[in-house]
Structure 1
Amino acid sequence: MPKTDEREKRYLSLRIKIWFAFILIFTPVFVASYIWFYLYTSEKVLNSISEDLVQTISGAVEKMDVEGFVTLYEEESANNPLCPPAPGVGVEDSGYYPENPLYWEHVTWLSDVEKIEPEANVYTYIKGDEPGEVLGIGSSGALRDPVVGFKFCQSYTSTTSRIYDGLSQRVDVWEPYEDPFGSWITTYMPIHDADGKIVGAIGIDILASYVQDVQNGIIRNGLIAFVLSYVLIFGLVYLMSGIVTRPLIGLATVSKEIGDGNYDQDLDALDNLGRWDDEIDTLSDTIKIMIGKVAQREQILRKRVSQLEIMVDNTKRQEEVKQIVESDFFQDLQSKAKNMRKQFKGGKDK
């Protein structure tokens, strides 16, 4: 006996199949696009912020009152025993806020520079006496409430050489790092006097959390846009798949009716109303031709069946007559009738 597939087949409409296929194909594309957008946006945000910092620090060095900067340290180091700090004095115990007008003019100018980058902290420093040591000169944070940043003549020795290297060349630190004051991205640039001599350096910090907040904000908005686009596009695909498959569903319904012998079906409603025919129109036309041929063949078959039924009835009738004629009863009856005719004929002759 031939084997039959006993597995139960579940119905899944063509519309859903098309929709699922589109989802399976384009969901990885959407995910890959969002990952690319995430990486690209993060890089662009960091590049934009870093470029702004470089432009700001370059403009600050160009417009800085270098002579006042030099004079400030000379006066304070000559008149105040706290400047420079004694050897071994740490960052927490060194530094102060002088009454020197040059200092307040300097930090006011740094505060003006900070207004260009409101999230930044601008400060200046010089080379210290110890290896890797720098001494703070001014900070835009001196005018904040509460006060933050370098104090004047505050000693600071970093665990890295970045801030110290800023006394000789521009140093960009775009990877977030941590120090006693927080987590930052930074750029440093040396300060030259009129003779081209390096007399100090300026640094601009931005909290790494600010950069991350900007990145996260853009990425969050991008994610919302991607989700809305995803839902909208797949919603449109679902609607379009319904429009595309509607004629096929209609043809399937018509085919089922035709299979049940109902040939009077309106296929014109399934025709494409546009100027261009497609495969569905070809299939519809083919089904129309098939309907005509099947209906014609059915009529011919019915006529032949009727003829065969008549022939069968005649044959059956002849067989029944033959059986009656050849039966003993009919033969005996026929013999008696024959004798009666002879007797009747003999009596008449007398």
Structure 2
Amino acid sequence: MKKFVSLRSKILVGFTLMFTVFSVGVYYWFYRFTTEKTLQRLKDDLQTMAVASSQQIDVKELMALSEEAKATPEGRSNDLRYQNQLQWLIQKHEINPKIFLFTFTKNSSWQDEKKIIYLVDVWMNINPSKSVHFLESNFATPYHINTLTKGSIEFRDAYKDRWGEWITYYAPIRDESGAIVAGIGADMQIDDIRRLQAEIRRQFLISFGISYPLLLTLIYILSTLLTRRFKAMQKYAQEVGNGNYQPDVSLTDDLQLSFFSDERIILSKALEEMTEKIRYREELLNGIFNQVAVGIAIFSPEYKFEIVNQTLCHLLGYSETELLKKDCWSITFPEDIEITRQYAEEIINSSVSSPPPHEKRCIHKNGEIKWCEIAFTH
């Protein structure tokens, strides 16, 4: 007798031995490499957006807005120029929804105290609670100062403020003469970066599998040899489920490569024996169902005929095909429909296994009225 070794053990042992050799080192390299490249691309996109926006913004309108417009209590401005600037920032945000732009300039007492005033923030359109207010003043950071005085493009790595956690690029805004008159900031939320890192981790198995075709090939060959019979058994079971008890599927071929007795052989034999028993029992039940002298039917929840025996068909004068197109009420005398419905609902809602019979009038196919004694069960 062959020694029993489970199919699961065969696959897991072979797969684990091969996969473990590569997994630890490859995972670390893949994750670090992909994450670093992705973060650098995000930073490049952020810088590009900041620089490009600083060169494309309507500088005259922005500066006129800062000098002439007034802020509302909500932190906005009713000035049309404010709306124009906000709409322009929204258009930029729609190009890359992960980037949020805002503008700022020096306050009137810049020489005495290094403060900035915020002008327009795209968050005012997205979520005002996370937006700086129009003409709101704040102390300048070294990044603001370098941008507004030296004209340098500044990157501020991960930091936290009262609105959230961010990385930011600052770029100077120059007028027609080349003088620095304001600055623009391009924010990206740290949460977006963390979600991206989580997505990279989630996609690892797919990327890892593609990176190692040789390993996948070996696993595929092994799993094919060991599980080929299960595909045949699945097809066999589907045929049996559809009522074909002699499917054109062999469960005994291609087992010569098995050196041990395993689940494939046991399940194949059990499935064939089970199929034969089901076929015998169904033939027996069909014979009883159609030969019994009592009309029997199975209804759907909508009281449509689903299964009927020959006795019921003969009683009502319909063929099986005709009767299966009808429901309980179409063969019931109109005056008996309501009381029959009540009787059925009482049975359905009752726990009684053997309900009392009920008399009603049925309509024969030829229009003749016949008294019948019926019993529902569920």
1:164 to 121, 125, 145: 145
Q: Which has the higher contact order (CA 8 A, sep 6+)?
A: 1
Aligned position for 1:281: none
Q: Distance in 2 between matches of 1:238 and 1:179?
A: 55
**1:218 Cα deviation after fit:** 2.1
Aligned position for 1:115: 94
Change in 2 beyond 3 A, CA 1:145/1:185: closer
**1:241 Cα deviation after fit:** 11
Secondary structure in structure 2 of the residue aligned to 1:122: strand
In the TM superposition, what are the counterparts of 1:126-137 in structure 2 within 5 Å?
126-128=105-107, 129=110, 131-137=113-119
Q: Distance in 2 between matches of 1:64 and 1:116?
A: 15
- TM-score, normalised via structure 2 length: 0.49
Is residue 62–residue 85 contact of structure 2 (8 Å, CA) maintained in 1? yes
Gaps of 5+ in 2: 227-255, 260-378
Secondary structure in structure 2 of the residue aligned to 1:96: coil
CA displacement 1:48-93 (0-9 Å, x = unmatched):
11111122222211211001111111213xxx5x79xxxxxxxxxx
Q: Distance in 2 between matches of 1:48 and 1:35?
A: 20
1:64 to 50, 57, 62: 57
Matched, 1:235 2:228: no
Q: Distance in 1 between matches of 2:34 and 2:94?
A: 25
Is residue 15–residue 219 contact of structure 2 (8 Å, CA) maintained in 1? no
In the TM superposition, what are the counterparts of 1:175-324 in structure 2 within 5 Å?
175-226=157-208, 232=216, 235-236=219-220, 238=222
Q: Distance in 2 between matches of 1:234 and 1:147?
A: 56
2:66 to 73, 78, 92: 73
Q: Distance in 2 between matches of 1:25 and 1:165?
A: 55
- Percent identity over paired residues: 26
State which drifts further: 47-56 or 196-205: 47-56
Q: Distance in 2 between matches of 1:237 and 1:23?
A: 15
Is residue 75–residue 134 contact of structure 2 (8 Å, CA) maintained in 1? yes
Aligned position for 1:343: none
Q: Distance in 2 between matches of 1:150 and 1:117?
A: 20
**1:227 Cα deviation after fit:** 6.8
What code does the residue aligned with 1:113 have? Answer: K
Aligned position for 1:311: none
Aligned position for 1:103: 82
What code does the residue aligned with 1:139 have? Answer: D
Q: Distance in 2 between matches of 1:190 and 1:209?
A: 27
Please tell me the root mean square deviation across aligned C-alpha atoms, in Å.
4.0
**1:236 Cα deviation after fit:** 4.4
Secondary structure in structure 1 of the residue aligned to 2:33: helix
Gaps of 5+ in 1: 1-11, 84-93, 250-350
Q: Distance in 1 between matches of 2:99 and 2:224?
A: 52
What code does the residue aligned with 2:77 have? Answer: P
Q: Distance in 1 between matches of 2:208 and 2:65?
A: 55
Is residue 41–residue 219 contact of structure 1 (8 Å, CA) maintained in 2? no
Is residue 34–residue 223 contact of structure 1 (8 Å, CA) maintained in 2? no
Is residue 56–residue 116 contact of structure 1 (8 Å, CA) maintained in 2? no
What code does the residue aligned with 1:50 have? Answer: K
Q: Distance in 1 between matches of 2:130 and 2:205?
A: 36
What code does the residue aligned with 1:214 have? Answer: L
Aligned position for 1:32: 25
1:52 to 41, 45, 57: 45
Larger radius of gyration: 1
Is residue 127–residue 164 contact of structure 1 (8 Å, CA) maintained in 2? no
Q: Distance in 2 between matches of 1:217 and 1:22?
A: 25
Q: Distance in 2 between matches of 1:212 and 1:112?
A: 25
What code does the residue aligned with 1:235 have? Answer: I
Is residue 132–residue 161 contact of structure 1 (8 Å, CA) maintained in 2? no
Q: Distance in 1 between matches of 2:162 and 2:114?
A: 16
More helix, by proportion: 1
In the TM superposition, what are the counterparts of 1:83-94 in structure 2 within 5 Å?
none
**1:234 Cα deviation after fit:** 6.1
The structure 1 segments of at least 4 consecutive aligned residues displaced by more than 4 Å after TM superposition are: 19-26, 227-234, 236-242
Change in 2 beyond 3 A, CA 1:95/1:143: closer
Is residue 23–residue 234 contact of structure 1 (8 Å, CA) maintained in 2? no
Secondary structure in structure 2 of the residue aligned to 1:124: strand
CA displacement 1:152-205 (0-9 Å, x = unmatched):
1111226x52233332311123x3211111001111101000001000100010
